[in-house]
């Protein structure tokens, strides 16, 4: 029916009623506001009238205290419309009152009551008049009801009249339009022209629309026929290409697809895919989001951005589960209203890409392998060296590649091994062994190498590959292990020697002292015996130092502060350091350090290092710096001096027993080896760095968990 909610007449009538009602309400509210302002203005006008005409008589009555006259005048005031309260107060107290004073929605005015006294005017009281707004609001409410009722009636009458006119002259013809358009089928037949049941002489907008629609249907039918012919030709062209081609709309529904693309979707006929959503078909998991497939993502991006996308290498998972690599070309279909779809071309390049990936993978393996790799051709010309080869031997690949391998590496003094390698290569066998070349900057490198030939299918040599592993660090660790073993053996031997020689030496010393007492200390024989006794004392000190290798102290660990130990050592040797003109600089860590170790052993290490530092500055004095730091669960005590330093050739021997750079009188060569053994027994280490004017011994001792600062 024409009055249904979906009809145009219904919507038009509803809008007319709504608009008319809003206009009526707005005008009603405006009128009520104006009436309210008028009523309020009348109240203020009444207040002015009271001021001009009623105050003087009231002042006379108040002066003579005429209660009756005052009451009558107040009664006259509250008889005025909207005035509900009037009162006269004297000395801030209400003396005469009429009416009841409301609590809310009022307008109040106060007037002073004056009287002439002794030639001047004085206030004898005040008049307060209060008007209520309730009556005004009640009048406005009655007006609202009347205005709304009359305006509503007028609105419905006008709307009904408009609805009848619209029904007669427009709605019927629009219904004919709707029925005609719904019955159109320009794909299969030429549509009949639309004719209205009205006067054909009329030439209004409806007639113009009818004529335009008939022309549009005729041209649309012809355009559809031409489009169908072009579509058939385009399909023949697409099916003749080797690329997979398909077109989709904005939702991913297939509009057309060629036969090659059907094979990728495992479908025999093109009609089986037309009208289906290819995005959902490419995403096999029903719970997946539609854009989880790379092809779907790129096609969707084409439609969103409105630009063509070209990708030469993209993975694609087909509906039947196989994976291929494709070269993708995606073009947007742009119309006036925007992008309405996309045309997609792709070619399977999986095999070519797989070969390229294998090539790149092998190249990365060779370049980034942790082993040294050198490749030469059959003539001995270097073809490739990897990054590790450059780093270990400290050379540039550009300076090696293209050169003869034997000439370039001749300075490494590898000729004896090269002869062995050549013999093995000529036999087609692999050579393996140890190389110890020296890099271009003078650093010795130890390599565990393997060299093997590459032969072609005819057995001819094409390339030689040398692979090596840097075992320099491993060799250093082995050497350190051997040093530790030698130190342990030396300690046991020293303890045995000290035990075997200690008692006989003590007897010799007592015998020398007894003979010296008989001959007299001032005689020539006494002086010789004194020299012998001094040598016995020096040998006893040497034996005591030897005993430190095996039994340096009681071995009981206690908790102590190394700062306190260092301070005590400095106090003990203050005179010695001052005599040598040595300035001591303290740079301790701010936090207190609690070290759990054998205190007398650690004290001995610090004494040895401090005395060695002072001996290194025997000429002209210098600066001795003691510093402590705590890091990585270890405490580091650094003893720095400004002496002449340690020669590079002597640096690797300083921890060996009996090695010393001092004269035979000054040292035995056991101080540093003993210190080394003590720190090693505590799980620590001693590091040395030395150059003229700056030698540092760093004693690094691990802290137990209980010793770590909070």
Close Cβ partners of 432 (under 8 Å, ≥ 6 residues apart)? 448, 449, 450, 451
**Which has more confidence, 84 or 234?**
84
Examine the fold and report which residue of 238, 253, 278 is the final residue of a domain before the chain moves on: 238
In the prediction, which pLDDT does 637 show? Answer: 92
CA distance 209 to 223: 20
User: Which ranges of 548-653 does DSSP label H, i.e. alpha helix?
Assistant: 562-572, 574-579, 599-616, 648-651
3-class DSSP state of 326? strand
Is the residue at 24 inside a domain? Answer: yes
Is the residue at 170 inside a domain? Answer: no
The interaxial angle of helices 205-240 and 172-182, nearest 10 deg, is 10
User: Which tokens go with 633?
Assistant: 């669960």
Is the residue at 165 inside a domain? Answer: no
Close Cβ partners of 292 (under 8 Å, ≥ 6 residues apart)? 283, 285
Is the residue at 166 inside a domain? Answer: no
In the prediction, which pLDDT does 620 show? Answer: 72
> Using an 8 Å Cβ cutoff, are 375 and 465 in contact?
yes
In the prediction, which pLDDT does 626 show? Answer: 92
By C-alpha distance, which of 140, 129, 117, 123 is closest to 45? 129
Based on the fold, state whether residues 257 and 219 are members of the same structural domain: no
In the prediction, which pLDDT does 635 show? Answer: 92
The least confident of 29-38, 354-363, 378-387 is: 354-363
Tens digit of pLDDT for each residue in 411-437?
A: 555 556 677 777 888 888 888 877 776
By C-alpha distance, which of 424, 420, 425 is closest to 435? 420
Is the residue at 164 inside a domain? Answer: no
Average pLDDT, the chain: 77
In the prediction, which pLDDT does 356 show? Answer: 75
Based on the fold, state whether residues 534 and 485 are members of the same structural domain: yes
Based on the fold, state whether residues 76 and 197 are members of the same structural domain: no
> Using an 8 Å Cβ cutoff, are 59 and 106 in contact?
no
Predicted confidence (pLDDT) at residue 113 exceeds the cutoff of 80: yes
Cα–Cα distances (Å) from 210 to 167, 174, 219, 469, in that order, read 18, 10, 15, 91
* pLDDT, mean of residues 118-142: 82
Tens digit of pLDDT for each residue in 452-492?
A: 888 888 888 888 888 888 777 777 666 665 655 565 666 56
User: Which tokens go with 77?
Assistant: 């005031």
Q: How many domains does the chain have?
A: 6
Ramachandran region, residue 45 (left: φ > 0; alpha: ψ -120 to 50; beta: rest): alpha
**Which has more confidence, 115 or 626?**
626
Based on the fold, state whether residues 455 and 479 are members of the same structural domain: no
User: Cα 495 from chain centroid?
Assistant: 62
Based on the fold, state whether residues 337 and 280 are members of the same structural domain: yes
Is the residue at 3 inside a domain? Answer: no
Examine the fold and report which residue of 546, 569, 603 is the final residue of a domain before the chain moves on: 546
Which regions of 515-572 does DSSP assign to beta strands (E)? 558-560
Tens digit of pLDDT for each residue in 654-676?
A: 766 555 555 444 444 566 777 77
In the prediction, which pLDDT does 301 show? Answer: 87
* Residue 542 dihedral angles phi and psi, to the nearest 5°: -60, -40
Tens digit of pLDDT for each residue in 211-263?
A: 787 888 888 778 878 887 877 777 777 777 778 888 888 888 888 888 888 88
Question: Can you give the pTM of this predicted structure?
Answer: 0.33
Predicted confidence (pLDDT) at residue 592 exceeds the cutoff of 70: yes
pLDDT confidence bin for 627, thresholds 50/70/90: very high
CA distance 145 to 140: 9
**What string of H, E and C letters represents the secondary structure of 244-282?**
EEEEEECCCEEEEECHHHHHHCCCCCHHHCCCCEHHHHH
Q: What is the CATH number of the domain that holds 679?
A: 3.30.565.10
Tens digit of pLDDT for each residue in 494-539?
A: 666 665 666 676 667 667 666 666 676 667 777 676 777 776 766 7
User: Which tokens go with 574?
Assistant: 């203050």
3-class DSSP state of 205? helix
Across 559-572, b (16+ Cβ under 10 Å) vs e yields ebebbebbeebbee
Based on the fold, state whether residues 218 and 291 are members of the same structural domain: no
Report the range out of 170-179, 510-519, 539-548, 688-697 with the highest average pLDDT. Answer: 688-697
Based on the fold, state whether residues 232 and 245 are members of the same structural domain: no
Q: What is the CATH number of the domain that holds 71?
A: 3.30.450
In the prediction, which pLDDT does 509 show? Answer: 67
Q: Helices then strands (H, E): number in the chain?
A: 21, 21
Is the four-CA dihedral 379, 385, 390, 391 of positive or negative sign?
negative
Based on the fold, state whether residues 268 and 330 are members of the same structural domain: yes
CA distance 567 to 596: 18
Based on the fold, state whether residues 565 and 696 are members of the same structural domain: yes
Is the residue at 77 inside a domain? Answer: yes
Based on the fold, state whether residues 580 and 701 are members of the same structural domain: yes
Is the residue at 593 inside a domain? Answer: yes
Name the percent of the chain lying above pLDDT 70: 79
In the prediction, which pLDDT does 290 show? Answer: 43
In the prediction, which pLDDT does 480 show? Answer: 61
Domain boundaries, position 518:
475-546
Based on the fold, state whether residues 700 and 590 are members of the same structural domain: yes
Based on the fold, state whether residues 529 and 541 are members of the same structural domain: yes
Tens digit of pLDDT for each residue in 5-16?
A: 556 666 777 777
Predicted confidence (pLDDT) at residue 288 exceeds the cutoff of 50: no
Q: What is the CATH number of the domain that holds 261?
A: 3.30.450.20
* pLDDT, mean of residues 325-336: 85
**Which has more confidence, 394 or 38?**
38
Examine the fold and report which residue of 104, 139, 174 is the final residue of a domain before the chain moves on: 139
How much of the chain is in helix, strand and coil states, percent to nearest 5? Answer: 50, 25, 25
Tens digit of pLDDT for each residue in 530-574?
A: 777 776 766 766 666 555 544 444 567 888 888 988 888 888 788
């Amino acid at each position: 029916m024409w009055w249904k909610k979906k009809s145009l007449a219904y919507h038009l009538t509803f809008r007319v009623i709504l608009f008319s009602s809003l206009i009526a309400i707005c005008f009603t509210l405006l009128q009520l506001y104006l009436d309210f302002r008028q009523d309020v203005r009348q109240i203020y006008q009444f207040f002015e009238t009271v001021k001009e005409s009623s105050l003087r008589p009231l002042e006379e009555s108040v002066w003579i205290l005429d209660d009756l006259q005052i009451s009558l005048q107040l009664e006259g005031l509250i008889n005025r419309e909207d005035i509900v309260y009037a009162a006269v107060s004297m000395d801030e107290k209400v003396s005469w009152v009429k009416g009841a004073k409301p609590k809310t929605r009022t307008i109040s005015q106060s007037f002073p009551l004056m009287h002439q006294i002794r030639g001047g005017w004085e206030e004898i009281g005040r008049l307060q008049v209060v008007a209520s707004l309730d009556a005004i609001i009640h009048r406005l409410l009655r007006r609202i009801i009347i205005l709304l009722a009359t305006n509503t009636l007028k609105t419905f009458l006008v709307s009904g009249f408009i609805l009848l006119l619209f029904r007669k002259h427009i709605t019927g013809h629009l219904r004919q339009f709707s029925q005609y358009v719904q019955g159109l089928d320009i794909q299969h037949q030429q549509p009949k022209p639309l004719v209205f049941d009205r006067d054909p002489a009329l030439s209004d907008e409806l007639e113009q629309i009818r004529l335009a629609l008939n022309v549009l249907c005729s041209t649309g039918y012809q355009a559809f026929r031409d489009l169908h012919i072009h579509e058939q030709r385009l399909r023949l062209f697409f099916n003749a290409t080797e690329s997979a081609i398909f077109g989709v709309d904005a939702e991913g529904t297939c509009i057309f697809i060629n036969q090659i693309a059907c094979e990728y979707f495992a479908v025999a006929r093109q009609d089986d895919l037309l009208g289906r959503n290819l995005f959902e078909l490419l995403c096999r998991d029903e719970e997946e989001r539609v854009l989880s497939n790379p092809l779907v993502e790129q096609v969707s991006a084409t439609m969103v951005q409105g630009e063509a996308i070209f990708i030469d290498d993209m993975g694609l998972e087909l509906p039947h589960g196989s994976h291929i690599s494709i070269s993708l070309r995606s073009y947007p279909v742009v119309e006036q209203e925007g992008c309405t779809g996309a045309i997609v071309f792709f070619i399977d390049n999986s095999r070519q890409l797989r070969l390229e990936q294998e090539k790149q993978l092998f190249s990365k393996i060779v370049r980034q392998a942790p082993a040294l790799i050198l490749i030469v051709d059959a003539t001995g010309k270097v073809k490739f060296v990897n990054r590790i080869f450059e780093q270990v031997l400290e050379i540039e690949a550009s300076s090696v590649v293209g050169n003869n391998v034997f000439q370039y590496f001749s300075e490494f003094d590898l000729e004896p091994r090269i002869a062995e390698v050549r013999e093995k290569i000529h036999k087609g066998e692999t050579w393996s062994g140890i190389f110890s070349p020296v890099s271009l900057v003078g650093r010795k490198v130890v390599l565990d190498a393997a060299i093997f030939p590459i032969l072609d299918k005819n057995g001819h040599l094409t390339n030689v590959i040398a692979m090596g592993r840097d075992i320099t660090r491993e060799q250093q660790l082995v050497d350190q292990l051997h040093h530790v073993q030698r130190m342990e053996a030396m300690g046991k031997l020293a303890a045995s020697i000290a035990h075997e020689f200690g008692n006989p030496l003590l007897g010799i010393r007592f015998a020398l002292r007894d003979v010296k007492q008989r001959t007299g200390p001032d005689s020539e024989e006494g002086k010789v015996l004194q020299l012998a006794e001094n040598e016995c004392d020096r040998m006893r000190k040497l034996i005591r130092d030897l005993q430190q290798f095996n039994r340096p102290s009681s071995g009981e660990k206690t908790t102590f502060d190394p700062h306190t130990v260092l301070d005590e050592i400095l106090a003990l040797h203050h005179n010695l350091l001052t005599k040598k003109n040595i300035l001591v600089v303290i740079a301790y860590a701010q936090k207190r350090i609690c070290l759990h170790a054998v205190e007398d052993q650690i004290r001995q290490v610090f004494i040895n290092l401090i005395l060695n530092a002072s001996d290194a500055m025997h000429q002209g004095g210098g600066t001795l710096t003691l510093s402590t730091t705590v890091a990585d669960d270890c405490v580091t005590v650094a003893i720095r001096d400004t002496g002449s330093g340690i020669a590079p050739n002597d640096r690797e021997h300083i921890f060996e027993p009996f090695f010393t750079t001092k004269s035979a009188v000054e040292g035995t060569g056991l101080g540093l080896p003993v210190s080394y053994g003590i720190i090693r027994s505590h799980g620590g280490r001693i590091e040395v760095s030395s150059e003229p004017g700056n030698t540092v011994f760093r004693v690094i001792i691990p802290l137990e968990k209980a010793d770590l600062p909070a």
